[in-house]
């Protein structure tokens, strides 16, 4: 076996799992975000895959295997050929055919299933695969935690009705909890925004991580847990500078010259008012929105492609002390992405440069307003801020005494604020706290989006043609491996849970008077016969080097045979450092029962 | 389980395995050459992979996993970035990086190993992976037999000396025989041309197939077996029209007007001579030759890139009744490919149109001559044809009385003829016969080509830096699955060998007075507990439909439980059609022992 431990991690390794996966010889880098698994790492990866496979089979999911490279056609049918963005690796082959190196497989599986599906009797169909995916990350980092190529278990379910989807969704929710428990991981299940994937009803399985991509909004009291891309909070009424609820004004809007006063902090100083009395207006560029803008200001000039607007610009108003959450904004606008517009478009659409954009008199652009400012109701608006200060709509001027509803009306209102630590839980009134997290798994109800687009159909009990509803369920395998290391390590290296350890035990003979190598080989053979995965460290190295390597590699049990230990062997637990002397004859029994009972504890 | 049997195979299915893989619901097509494995097919594929894995592990090979998408840099280091041709799928990512969807992995594994290798003590290193590959076939066909994306077991070995390579190569030769035997396959191991892969010492594992890509040259008497891209044959001396050995002539060359006499058949009629007295000269376009042409006619004008000529043209002379083998020509010229030149280049380099090209007076192009005409010896040439007829070197004229050696000298001579059925075995003198074959596996000694190009090095016993020598070993997994079907089927469908069957046994309850479903479920549970892979066909279908499907799917054993069979069950062997009545209580024992003994027979 090629043992490739390193004293030093590569310079670009910023997190512990990345460092340890290199140092322990689990992976090597071919290029940014492209990794080779060495034998020690592959053993762990395969174990994680097998745990996932067992839990998938246990809920009746069936394993398929779709190609990594798929025809562009199915992506064109769903419309995601254009909406997936540059993260999807497209390639034309020598015959000019469009191909995609799959970033996900909703289209491919739906195109396979639609040809097999004809009757409600076949439903539900629950398909999964464990297969290579590729996403062209701009900045791949943290090793396999955010690589370009990775292995995913992706599953897709097809149903005749929502009840069936609910059942299977619940099965997956349970199976995912089993998977992560069996891998020795503590996950935080949170509700999530399902973003460009469409649909609603989703849960993300998060692992706490200082370098997490996600901010988790958590409530200590009631257990509320959500991704900040979806989290809501209790509405809070803005107070004026004296701490009283703001009051409507009857004063007309007044323009105030305030050149140089551009940021909220500058405005607070200049107007001597809290930011909660300002309305901040920002121009956003929105991609692939499915909202009908035809009746909105400026809407007539927006270009439509089918029922999608590839690019529109909107003005977004929010209370001055709050931030717009782009994911929530995109979800409200049924869009694939929303980002701040560049200065040219800010001026084009609002008439003012950034910092002086206001909500009043916007005629070229739809105005989207956060609930912190106002909420559309059945019979008008509930106004949540009054007598506000806003940008003046021209450079170097602000407006004061602006009344929402009186001075401007929105095209759309919604909850698009970024929820932060300290905001109030809508369930129980407790203030939220936050954690950074990485997503290991994601389950969500897709609805009929892909089935409709790809024309999957079946005949129901009454012989009527119906569209199946779908669910979609993913687990990142490599990321799970890295996360296990993040949660199970110490200053000496990895501490593998028995369930995923590359080997359960290492046998280490140490040269001396007695033939420890022969005894070690005998024990090695015995353990192999018992079905125990055992490593024999017969390298010609000093004991200290071997011990260091084995600690680094995280093998759960170490058995040393030497002049010092004989007639016993010394068994050491990697996790606790506990050492036991066991008579050599009994070692195999002891190791086997230890391994089996630890394995059992992860079932 | 989604059972997706079809009455009809798709129209483009030309061979039995392609038809049956679709009809039995093993695969579905996403696009030309891109297939999805349905659960039934994936089970077989995984079994073949597992057999391969076990045989690899048994010879001490270690499993790695390289990414499917690899950086273009390593391909540039080896030079194959330009020489692999359009079959390699290249793609630029959003950052402009060159990427390759791996068609093979010599470069990638060598780039990983070179960073780990420092001492002879680590050698040999034998690495394998079972991973997705992509080759952009122009005409993918025959289902997974020639797909664009496919799974390969590819292995690479690194050695300190040739003796170690020989040993490991022999291990692979043995392991490959085991793999195919365990899969129920009859393979023909043949020596092979290793083409663009470089190196020598290689063996291909062929399966007989009417649609085979390869022509196998076989000798009944001594067992000689070779791919026609490499096969040699005993040299035969050409005879004149009277059946006597040809004699040298002292007559000078004479030009004969023969407009319209272009083909060999036309020449035989016109000159009243056998084709064996003609010399046929053809102009070839040769890619990426590593021969030094600097001293050859026209060689000065050839453009060189490093030590490679990306494109050169050569004239090739061969006896009139024989054909040039392009693979052998390419191998002789250390080139990646050789193909007939277009008419424009034929005239440019030879001065004559196709049909009138001759060997005399060629000054712009190197002349390569087959051993059937002459052989370079230490002290000149051995001339094998005399007083020949050749193209005249200008349109509408041939030359007669042309003497090789006297009238022209070659730049290079070699064995480049296509060996055919009836040619004589060089070992034993028996005439060859031929078969069409498909390659399932290939083992070859690479030498130091990749290690040198990628600068892999180690320190030998004396502390001296050395380049490791390499071996390379592949098995096409999907092609193996298809070949098993080609060899194991009848008019009713597939007949899986027990070792790779998706399920070992199907239990089929048939509705009647007695509760056959409950009894079948009990048996199903019992067999599962015994570790037997069992399918319960509880579909609401007529018995005839179920039997037809199970025959088509090729499940080795079928157990029927019905009013008619009870208190017995009826056990039927798919392969022989043999039926046995077994008391229900004993069926599980019977099935288990049958399955286990058949499994054992493939060990």
Report the pLDDT value the prediction gives residue A193, as an integer from 0 to 100: 52
- For residue A10 the two structure tokens come to 């590569």
- Residue A71 has its nearest CB partner, among B34, B45, B65, at B34
- Determine the pLDDT at residue A195: 41
Per-range mean pLDDT, top range of A257-261, B36-40, B351-355:
B36-40
* Beta-carbon separation of A134 and B68 below 8 A: yes
Judgement on whether residues B386 and B452 belong to the same structural domain of the protein: no
Cis peptide before A488 (omega within 30 of 0): no
Question: Residue B35 pairs with which residues in a beta bridge?
Answer: B29
- Is residue A222 domain-resident? yes
By Cβ distance, the residue of B39, B67, B116 closest to A63 is: B39
B195 pLDDT higher than 70: no
Map A180-240 to HEC letters.
HHHCCCCCEEEECCCHHHCCCCEEEEEEECCCCCEEEEECCCCCCEEECCCCCCCCCCCEC
How wide is the angle at C-alpha A64 spanned by C-alphas A58 and A69, nearest 5°?
145
The Cα–Cα gap between B523 and B529 comes to: 10
Is A138 in contact with B42 (Cβ distance < 8 A)? no
**pTM recorded for the entire structure:** 0.87
> Among residues of chain B, what percentage have pLDDT more than 70?
99
Q: Do B112 and A28 touch (CB under 8 A)?
A: yes
Tokens found for residue B116: 């780990």
Question: Residue A192: what pLDDT?
Answer: 62
- Chain A nearest CA to B456, separation (Å): 15
The pLDDT of residue A198 is 39
pLDDT of residue A336: 86
Chain A residue numbers with beta carbons less than 8 Å from the beta carbon of B30 are 66-67, 70-71, 74, 108, 111-112
Neighboring chain B residues of A93 at a CB cutoff of 8 Å: 89, 136, 148
Q: How far is CA B602 from the centre of its chain?
A: 25
Nearest to A561 by CA among A595, A515, A529, A530: A515
pLDDT (tens digit, 9 = 90+) per residue, A271-308?
Answer: 998 899 999 999 999 999 999 999 999 998 999 988 88
Residues A343 and A362 in one domain: yes
Sequence-ordered list of residues with C-beta below 8 angstroms from that of B518, at least 6 positions apart, any chain: none
Q: B62 vs A89: CB contact, 8 Å cut-off?
A: no
Same domain as A406, residue A265: yes
| Phi, psi torsion values for A20, nearest 5 degrees | -70, -30
* Angstrom distance (rounded) from CA A91 to CA B100: 11
Q: How far from the centroid of its chain's Cα atoms is residue A141's Cα? A: 15
Chain A: give the shortest CA distance to residue B320, in Å: 37
Q: Indicate if B138 and B183 belong to the same structural domain.
A: yes
Question: Which residues in chain B have Cβ-Cβ distances shorter than 8 Å to A2?
Answer: 62, 116, 122, 125, 127
Residue B305 DSSP one-character state? B
Which two tokens mark A179?
A: 């998977």
User: Radius of gyration (Cα) for chain A, nearest Å?
Assistant: 29
User: Which of A1, A27, A33, A36 to mutate to test binding with chain B, by most B CBs within 10 Å of its CB?
Assistant: A36
DSSP tag of B273? S
For chain A, give the percent of residues with pLDDT over 90.
80
- Please write the tens of the pLDDT for every residue from A490-527: 999 999 999 999 999 999 999 988 899 999 999 999 99
Per-residue pLDDT at B578 exceeds 80: yes
How far apart, in whole angstroms, are the C-alpha atoms of residue A391 and residue A405? 16
Q: Do B74 and A125 touch (CB under 8 A)?
A: no
Q: B246's torsion region: left (phi>0), alpha (psi -120 to 50) or beta?
A: beta
Of A28, A68, A138, the CB nearest to B94: A138
Domain interval for residue B394:
254-414
Mutate: best of A74, A99, A139, A528, partner B, most B CBs <10 A: A99
- Between B477-487 and B39-58, two packed helices, what is the crossing angle to 10 degrees? 110
Nearest CA in chain A to B95: A138
Distance to chain A for B148, nearest Cα, Å: 9
Residue of B nearest to A132 (CA): B68
Closest CA to B21 of B575, B482, B537: B482
**Residue A334: CATH number of its domain:** 3.90.960.10
Query: Which residue is associated with the tokens 């901040």?
Result: A280
Say if CB B83 and CB B287 are below 8 A apart: yes
pLDDT of residue A10: 85
Which residues of chain B does A38 touch, with a Cβ-Cβ cutoff of 8 Å? 64, 112
The rounded distance, in Å, linking the Cα atoms of B187 and B181 is 8
Q: How far is CA B512 from its chain centroid?
A: 53
What's the pLDDT score for residue A209? Answer: 86
Nearest-by-CA chain A residue for B25: A116
Q: Which of B36, B65, B109 sits opposite A42 (nearest CB)?
A: B65
- Residue B103 CA to chain centroid, in angstroms? 14
Would the CB atoms of A70 and B34 count as touching at under 8 Å?
Answer: yes
Quote the mean pLDDT of chain B.
93
Give B-chain residues touching A87 at CB under 8 angstroms: 94
**Which chain B residues touch A109 with a CB distance below 8 Å?**
36
Considering the domain boundaries, does residue B595 fall inside one?
Answer: yes
Label residue B269 exposed, middle or buried (CB < 10 Å: 0-12, 13-18, 19+).
exposed
- Residues in chain A with CB shorter than 8 Å from the CB of B155 are none
Taking the C-alpha atoms of residue A386 and residue B412, their distance in angstroms, rounded to an integer, is 95
List the structure tokens of B218. Answer: 């076989």
Classify residue B565: in a domain, yes or no: yes
Give yes or no for residue B22 having a pLDDT over 80. Answer: yes
> Looking at residue B193, what is its pLDDT?
52
Please give the residue of chain B at the shortest CA–CA distance from A25: B116
Q: Is the pLDDT of residue B63 over 70?
A: yes
**Closest Cα in chain A to B45:** A65
Test B62 with A122 for CB contact under 8 angstroms: no
- Best probe of the A interface among B45, B68, B113, B120, by most A CBs < 10 A, is B68
Question: Would you call B39 and A45 a contact, using CB atoms and an 8 Å cutoff?
Answer: no
A545 and A586 co-located in one domain: yes
Which among B87, B108, B122 has CB closest to A2?
B122
Whether A194 has a pLDDT exceeding 50, the answer reads no
* B260 and B400 share one domain: yes
Would you say A496 and A602 are in contact if contact means Cβ atoms under 8 Å apart?
no
Residue A244 predicted with pLDDT over 90? no
Q: Is A93 in contact with B136 (Cβ distance < 8 A)? A: yes
Separation CA A260–CA B235 (nearest Å): 96
3-state helix, strand, coil in chain B (%, to 5): 30, 30, 40
In-domain check, residue A64: yes
- Total domain count, chain B: 3
The answer to whether the complex's ipTM is over 0.90 is no
CATH number at residue B545: 3.40.50.800
pLDDT above 70: percentage of residues in chain A: 99
Residues B519 and B500 in one domain: yes
3-state SS, B98-146, equals: EEEECCCCHHHHHHHHHHHCCEHHHCCEEEEEEEEEECCCCCCECHHHE
> Do B464 and B363 share a structural domain?
no
Query: If you measure CA to CA, which chain A residue comes closest to B28?
Result: A112
DSSP 8-state symbol, A602: T
CB–CB of B31 and A149 under 8 A? Answer: no
**A174-183, A198-207, A378-387: the lowest-pLDDT one:** A198-207
Query: How far is B177 from A411, CA to CA, in rounded Å?
Result: 73
Three-point CA angle B304, B310, B312, nearest 5°: 85
Greatest extent of chain B over all pairs of C-alpha atoms, in Å: 100
Token readout for B182 is: 């365990």
The pLDDT value recorded for residue B54 is 97
With contacts defined as CB-CB under 8 Å, which chain A residues touch B38? 64, 112
Distances (CA, A) of A603 to A51, A175, B19, B507: 10, 12, 42, 30
Assigned token pair, B571 = 């056990």
The values of phi and psi at residue B38, to 5°, are -80, 165
Token code pair at residue A410 = 């929105």
Structure tokens at B196: 């663009």
Of A2, A30, A36, the CB nearest to B62: A2
Please give the mean pLDDT across all residues of chain A.
93
Among the listed residues B238, B278, B286, the one whose alpha carbon sits nearest the alpha carbon of residue B258:
B278
pLDDT at B192 (0 to 100): 62
From B90, B125, B132, residue closest to A132, measured CB to CB: B132
Cβ-Cβ contacts under 8 Å, B42 against chain A: 63-65
Does the pLDDT of residue B476 top 70, yes or no?
A: yes
Nearest CA in chain B to A150: B67
How far apart, in whole angstroms, are the C-alpha atoms of residue B419 and residue B432?
A: 9
pLDDT for B564: 94
Last residue of a domain, one of B382, B414, B446: B414
Q: Give the pLDDT of residue B201.
A: 82
B5 assigned to some structural domain? no
Residues B406 and B285 in one domain: yes
Q: Which residue matches tokens 């140089």?
A: A260
Q: Which of A1, A4, A36 sits opposite B67 (nearest CB)?
A: A36
- Does A28 contact B70 at a Cβ distance shorter than 8 Å? no
pLDDT tens digits, one per residue of B393-433: 999 999 999 999 999 999 999 999 999 999 988 888 899 99
CB pairs under 8 A between A and B: 143
Per-residue pLDDT tens over the stretch B209-245? 888 888 999 988 888 888 888 888 887 778 877 888 8
Q: What is the pLDDT of residue B199?
A: 41
Nearest-CB residue to B71 (from A31, A73, A95)? A31
Asked whether residue B459 falls in the same domain as residue B519, the answer is no
The three-state DSSP-derived secondary structure of B311-379 is EEEEEEEEECCCCECHHHHHHHCCCCEEEECCHHHHHHHHCCCCCCCCCCCCCCCCEEEECCCEEEECC
Average pLDDT over residues A92-102: 95
Would B266 be classed as within a structural domain?
Answer: yes
* Strand-pair partners of B400: B254
List the beta bridge partners of residue A112.
Answer: none
**CA distances (Å), A476 to each of A84, A133, A176, A452, A483, in order?**
19, 10, 12, 27, 10
Pairwise CA distance, residues A327 & A212, whole Å: 16
Report yes or no on B423 lying in a domain.
no
Encoded tokens for B397: 């004229």
Asked whether the predicted pLDDT for residue B13 surpasses 90, the reply is no
- The neighbouring-strand residues paired with B59 are none
Supply the pLDDT for residue A332.
93
- Cβ separation of A93 and B94 shorter than 8 Å? no
Q: Is A236 among the domain residues?
A: no
**For position A148, which CATH number holds?**
3.30.930.10
B193 and B283 both lie in a single domain: no
Q: Does the structure show a pLDDT above 90 at B18?
A: yes
Compare all CA atoms of chain B with the CA of A125 and give the residue at the minimum distance.
B2
- Could B115 and A62 be called an inter-chain contact, meaning their C-beta atoms sit closer than 8 Å? no
Minimal Cα–Cα distance from B108 to chain A, Å?
8
Chain A positions touching B528 (Cβ under 8 A) are none
What is the distance, to the nearest Å, from the Cα of residue A340 to the centroid of all Cα atoms in its chain? 23
Contact list in B for residue A89 (CB cut-off 8 A) is: 69, 91, 93, 99
**Cα–Cα distances in Å, from A56 out to A62, A102, A154, B263?**
8, 21, 10, 66
pLDDT of residue A262: 82
Q: What is the mean pLDDT of residues A304-318?
A: 92
**How far off is chain B from A492, nearest CA to CA, in Å?**
22
Judged by DSSP in three states, A327 sits in helix
Closest CA to B151 of B68, B86, B56, B27: B68
Q: What is the pLDDT of residue B209?
A: 86
Mean pLDDT, range B318-340, rounded to an integer: 93
CA distance B5 to B9: 10
Same domain as B479, residue B550: no
């Amino acid at each position: 076996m090629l043992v490739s431990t390193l004293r030093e991690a590569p310079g670009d390794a910023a997190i512990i799992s990345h460092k340890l996966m290199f140092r322990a010889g689990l992976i090597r880098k071919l290029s940014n975000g492209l990794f080779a698994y060495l034998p020690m790492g592959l053993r762990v990866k395969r174990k994680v895959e097998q745990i996932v496979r067992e839990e998938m089979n246990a809920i009746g999911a069936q394993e398929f295997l779709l190609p990594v490279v798929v025809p562009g056609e199915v992506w064109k049918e769903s419309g995601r050929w254009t909406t997936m963005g540059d993260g999807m690796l497209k390639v034309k082959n020598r015959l000019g055919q469009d191909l995609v190196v799959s970033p996900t497989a909703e289209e491919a599986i739906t195109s396979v299933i639609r040809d097999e599906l004809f009757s409600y009797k076949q439903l539900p169909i629950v398909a999964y695969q464990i297969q290579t995916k590729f996403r062209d990350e701009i900045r791949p980092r943290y090793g396999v935690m955010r690589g370009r190529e990775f292995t995913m278990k992706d599953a897709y379910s097809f149903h005749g009705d929502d009840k069936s989807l609910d059942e299977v969704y619940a099965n997956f929710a349970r199976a995912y909890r089993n998977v992560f428990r069996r891998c020795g991981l503590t996950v935080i299940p949170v509700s999530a925004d399902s973003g460009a994937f469409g649909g609603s009803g989703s849960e993300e399985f998060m692992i706490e991580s200082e370098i997490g991509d996600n901010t988790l909004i958590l409530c200590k009291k009631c257990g509320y847990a959500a991704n900040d891309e979806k989290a809501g909070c209790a509405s809070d009424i803005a107070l004026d500078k004296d701490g009283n609820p703001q009051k409507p004004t009857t004063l007309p809007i007044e323009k105030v010259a305030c050149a140089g006063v551009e940021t909220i902090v500058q405005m607070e100083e200049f107007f001597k008012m809290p930011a909660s009395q300002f309305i901040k207006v920002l121009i956003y560029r929105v991609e692939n929105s499915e909202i009908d803008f035809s009746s909105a200001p400026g809407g007539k000039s927006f270009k439509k492609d089918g029922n999608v607007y590839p690019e529109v610009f909107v003005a977004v108003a929010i209370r001055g002390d709050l931030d717009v959450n782009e994911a929530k904004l995109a979800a409200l606008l049924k869009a694939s992405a929303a980002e701040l517009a560049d200065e040219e478009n800010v001026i084009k659409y609002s008439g003012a440069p950034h910092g002086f954009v206001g909500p009043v008199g916007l005629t070229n652009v739809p105005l989207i307003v956060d609930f912190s400012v106002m909420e559309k109701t059945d019979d008008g608006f509930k106004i949540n801020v009054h007598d506000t200060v806003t940008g003046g709509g021209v450079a170097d001027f602000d407006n004061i005494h602006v009344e929402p509803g009186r001075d401007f009306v929105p095209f759309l209102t919604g909850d698009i604020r970024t929820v932060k630590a300290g905001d109030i839980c809508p369930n129980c009134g407790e203030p939220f706290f936050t954690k950074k997290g990485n997503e290991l798994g994601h389950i969500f109800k897709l609805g009929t989006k892909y089935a409709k687009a790809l024309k999957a159909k079946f005949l129901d009990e009454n012989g009527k043609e119906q569209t199946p509803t779908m669910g979609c369920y993913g687990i990142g395998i490599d990321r799970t491996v890295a996360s296990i290391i993040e949660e199970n390590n110490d200053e000496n290296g990895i501490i593998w849970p028995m369930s995923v350890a590359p080997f359960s035990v290492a046998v280490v003979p140490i040269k001396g008077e007695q033939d420890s190598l022969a005894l070690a080989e005998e024990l090695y053979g015995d353990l192999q016969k018992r079905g125990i995965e055992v490593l024999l460290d017969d390298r010609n190295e000093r004991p200290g080097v071997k011990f260091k390597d084995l600690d680094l590699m995280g093998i759960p049990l170490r058995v040393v045979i030497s002049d010092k230990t004989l007639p016993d062997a010394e068994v050491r637990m990697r996790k606790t450092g506990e050492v036991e002397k066991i008579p050599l004859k009994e070692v195999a029994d002891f190791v086997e029962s230890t391994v089996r009972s630890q394995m059992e504890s992860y079932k």
